[in-house]
Structure 1
């Protein structure tokens, strides 16, 4: 009898594991319909032979990330509309928002993930449908928030490969220099022309691709992640700020809240940066109009007198982001570009803006995809 019970239990366990393995391996492609329209919200300056800085504020949803091809379709549609309006040339520098590459972590997943009601539920589906990847990532996780670390780390090799193929491909397809927003990877670096993740802490990093699709320099790692992410994202305090040569001039990249630190502009000035790109992201419904929460756990620069609650989040971004505002920055133009859309219950609130000749220009509308352009 004992042997019979053991055999029955073993067969049932094998059946359950086999069914689970078949379920986890199944990746049906769901129906996809997305708004490919984008509006030219800001267009400053006069076309000349010096090129232009073009920001793309996309509106993205979970199903846009169901495959790299779907995300390519949407971003390529935006770029094609920019090209149709005469905004692309060999000297164009295109700027995409913070974390536009990070969400490649959900590419190739099951329909249940994209249809989830909350971010937490979606991450549960991510782990459940990739048990071995998740278990390995959990064992290698760093910091105090092992769960979110594992979610970001578990598909890092595929994410890095997809990120370079997608954004490097777009740069080559449209013959532009592309600041590919940012992506969270463990210790990313460029080796032999390829973006490769390491095995150490996670960094929020941006890669600039030339018009040949090849990365320019090393990834720019974020130096001052907001306090909310300090348990997951490491701060880069050793790597110098990168400045790369582009057909439009020397380009510096500051990710998100790195643009709030005056010393970073001094370092860019020392390297002769002429244009500055700020991929950015603000999370939370109506957060742009709510009181600014300050530096959110990071040390406040001594030269900054702004106090938490004095202004709104949006007003703080405009005051602290010193792109092209002499004498704070000697760059001729700069642009902050925000990610918009709805990722489960996580909404976004940033509104992109640019600076030129000491003046700021912004789009006041809160919804929809936007283009912002400044001729250099």
Structure 2
């Protein structure tokens, strides 16, 4: 009897492990349903040759990060709206909010994850579908979000640079590409790479030819709620100054464009519903509901300001 049961149990165990291995690798395709609407919430000044600052507050959800092409589609819809209204020129500077790239860590997950109300709610599904995360969680003492980010950091870095470079070259504008969390980011032969050390909040800018513009901005993560950082960058439209802070309970960046004749400023933050980041300042949100909105319109909001000609 024992001789009969042993191979049966072994066969059953192999079948279960095989089924589990197949399940962890399955990523069924699903219909992409998202709000691609974008509206011009503010338009200040008169169109001319002085250039303009176009701030985009995109409405983003976990499902927008299922595939980088879907996030590209959402941002392209906003830029299409701007182009249709004559807001894009060779001197336009398009600014996007911080951490727009961080949730690329959600790409290529099971469909049920995108329905979760929090990352903690999705935790069991993530650990089951990524058994290698267990080693990071228990042996290296990492939290679930950091473990997943580090596991996908190499691809996240590649997709972040590729996506915003494509958008800049396609629309022939300067793009301030928000930011992304990466472990010890560095560049090799012009390509963004991720290392294995501490986490940094990294921000890149792209010129109208799709190439990197200026020096990358990076700041150690986590950040203090009281701290404020400042970045300057020379663009085709003028000198850009970006001030970053979590002081309002969410990642807010104030972008100022100065062409020497006049200047314009806009505040940026993410809209929609993205989960709070682990290790962010206590009580903070990534998509703040209480932040003052420029419009009640659904979808992404465009805030444009024209500068006087030099």
TM-score (norm 2): 0.82
Shift of 1:74: 1.3
Shift of 1:145: 5.2
For 1:142-153, list aligned pairs within 5 A: 146-153=143-150
Shift of 1:11: 2.3
Shift of 1:130: 2.5
What is the SS of the residue equivalent to 2:48?
coil
**Higher RCO (CA 8 Å, separation ≥ 6 residues):** 2
What is the SS of the residue equivalent to 2:64?
helix
Q: For 1:12 and 1:196, locate their aligned partners in 2 and report how far apart those are by CA, in whole Å.
A: 43
CA offset digits 1:178-221 (Å, max 9, x no partner)? 11111111011233211111111111221111112122234312
CA offset digits 1:146-189 (Å, max 9, x no partner)? 33321222200111111111111111110111111111110112
Match of 1:250 among 229, 233, 239: 239
Question: 1:21: which partner in 2?
Answer: 21
Question: 1:48: which partner in 2?
Answer: 48
Shift of 1:52: 0.9
CA 1:210–1:147 in structure 2 vs 1: closer, same or farther (change >3 Å)?
A: same
What is the SS of the residue equivalent to 1:343?
coil
Q: For 2:291 and 2:210, locate their aligned partners in 1 and report how far apart those are by CA, in whole Å.
A: 25
Unaligned runs of 5+ in 1: 261-279, 284-316, 326-330, 354-361
Cα contact 1:190–1:219 (8 A) shared by 2 = no
Shift of 1:250: 2.5
Q: For 2:73 and 2:32, locate their aligned partners in 1 and report how far apart those are by CA, in whole Å.
A: 11
Cα contact 1:351–1:366 (8 A) shared by 2 = no
Match of 1:373 among 301, 304, 310: 304
Q: 2:171 aligned with 1:174, yes or no?
A: yes
Q: For 1:7 and 1:80, locate their aligned partners in 2 and report how far apart those are by CA, in whole Å.
A: 62
Question: 1:69: which partner in 2?
Answer: 69
CA 1:30–1:250 in structure 2 vs 1: closer, same or farther (change >3 Å)?
A: same
Unaligned runs of 5+ in 2: 277-284
CA 1:3–1:251 in structure 2 vs 1: closer, same or farther (change >3 Å)?
A: farther
Cα contact 2:255–2:267 (8 A) shared by 1 = no
Equivalences, count: 297
CA offset digits 1:343-371 (Å, max 9, x no partner)? 36977226888xxxxxxxx7154853210
Shift of 1:31: 1.4
Cα contact 2:228–2:244 (8 A) shared by 1 = no
Q: For 1:6 and 1:187, locate their aligned partners in 2 and report how far apart those are by CA, in whole Å.
A: 50
Q: For 2:81 and 2:24, locate their aligned partners in 1 and report how far apart those are by CA, in whole Å.
A: 39
CA offset digits 1:75-111 (Å, max 9, x no partner)? 1011011001011011111111122111111111111
CA 1:139–1:186 in structure 2 vs 1: closer, same or farther (change >3 Å)?
A: farther
Comparing 121-130 and 166-175, the one that deviates more: 121-130
What is the SS of the residue equivalent to 1:15?
helix
What is the SS of the residue equivalent to 2:272?
strand
Cα contact 1:137–1:153 (8 A) shared by 2 = no
Shift of 1:56: 0.8
